[in-house]
Chains A and B, each alone.
Chain A
Amino acid sequence: MSITVQVLFVLLGLVAVGSAALVVTNTNLVHAALWLVVSLGAVAGVFLLLAAEFVAWVQVLIYVGAVVVLLLFALMLTRAPTGPQPELSTRRALPAAVVAVLVAALLGTTVVAGFSGATIDLRNGEVGSAEVAGASLFRTWVLPFEVLSVLLLAALVGAIVLSRLRSTELSGGGPAIAGQAPDNSEGGAD
């Protein structure tokens, strides 16, 4: 049982890391978004293995279901080209890779050195099902939950206000509108 969990965890971790690397290196925008689905799905599997059942399903619903669809919509609305784009990474790609490798080395050695003796005992633990998570959420953590609903409402209102701004309001009126209007069509045609 335990060995099955460990093998599954290693496989899911490899899938998550590999597809995440494809997300950040793929030259095709839509393929990057689709590899993100694979990576987030593998992370949901990791949550399941760590006895966080409800979190795993929320991850599938919100991340794989909603966030990736939103990202695909954004790619579509910004007229992202569907073919491979060789210039998707900036000139800072090499320093960025160095920074990423350093972050991975630092964090990795820290956690391995700090928690090398600790093991997670999953046999007798409580599975974080919807019932358990709901009881904990609405008994102990109900105030942060309500605050979070206010935050979501504020984000919703903000997103609506931002997307309803007219171009006249954006440029403050005057001759700047005439200067900007052709730029829009020009950029769209690219």
Chain B
Amino acid sequence: MPLWWPLLLAALLFSIGAYGVLARRNAVLVLMGVELMLNAANINLVAFDAYLRDALHSGQIFALFVIVVAAAEIGLALAIVLLVFRTHGHIEVDRLRALADRDEAPEEVRR
């Protein structure tokens, strides 16, 4: 199999994920885009592992590490998303303009 096949697949998945992160309004859908981008990175790691025939399998092991970090990231991010939902009543990322602690939140943010 030519090496550029999995690499091209990874590039396409990464750009689709980037579109999801940039264009989506709902925070959970933004997180789905992040997951697609992380998966694209994993395809690259595994493809180069197979190409280089690494005796230590560093590519596959690093892909496992990326999966674990992604699991930690999604857990924390969903906790933050639920917190934002409890305080603001919505999770639309382009309406969340102020994240800092302040006594008087702007009216647009609180609604």
Residues of A within 8 A of B (CB): 2, 5-6, 9-10, 13, 16-17, 20-21, 23-24, 29, 32-33, 36, 39-40, 43, 46-47, 49-52, 54-55, 58-59, 62-63, 66-67, 70-71, 73-75, 77-78, 80, 87-93, 95-97, 99-101, 103-104, 107-108, 111-112, 115-116, 118-122, 125-126, 128, 132-133, 136-137, 140-141, 144-145, 148, 151-152, 155-156, 158-159, 162-163, 165, 167, 170-172, 174, 176, 179-180, 183-188, 190
Name the one of B57, B73, B82, B89 contacting A187, with C-beta atoms under 8 angstroms: B89
Name the one of B28, B36, B75 contacting A75, with C-beta atoms under 8 angstroms: B28
Whether B67 lies near A118 (C-beta < 8 A) is no
- Which residues of the partner chain B approach A29 to less than 8 Å between Cβ atoms? 26, 28-29
Name the one of A32, A51, A58, A165 contacting B64, with C-beta atoms under 8 angstroms: A58
- Which residues of the partner chain A approach B63 to less than 8 Å between Cβ atoms? 47, 52, 55
Whether B3 lies near A46 (C-beta < 8 A) is no
Bound together, the chains give a CA A51 to CA B37 distance in angstroms of: 21
**Chain B interface, >50% SS class:** helix
- Tell me how many residues of B have a C-beta within 8 Å of chain A: 79
Q: What is the chain A residue whose CB lies nearest that of B63?
A: A55
Q: What is the chain B residue whose CB lies nearest that of A156?
A: B75
Whether B50 lies near A52 (C-beta < 8 A) is yes
Name the one of A49, A100, A118, A190 contacting B22, with C-beta atoms under 8 angstroms: A100
Known A29-B28, A63-B39: A90·B23 in contact at CB below 8 Å: yes
Known A71-B74, A100-B18, A170-B83: A148·B101 in contact at CB below 8 Å: no
Give chain B nearest CB distance to A135 CB in angstroms: 9
Whether B4 lies near A111 (C-beta < 8 A) is yes
Known A24-B24, A77-B82: A155·B72 in contact at CB below 8 Å: yes
Name the one of A67, A132, A151, A184 contacting B89, with C-beta atoms under 8 angstroms: A184
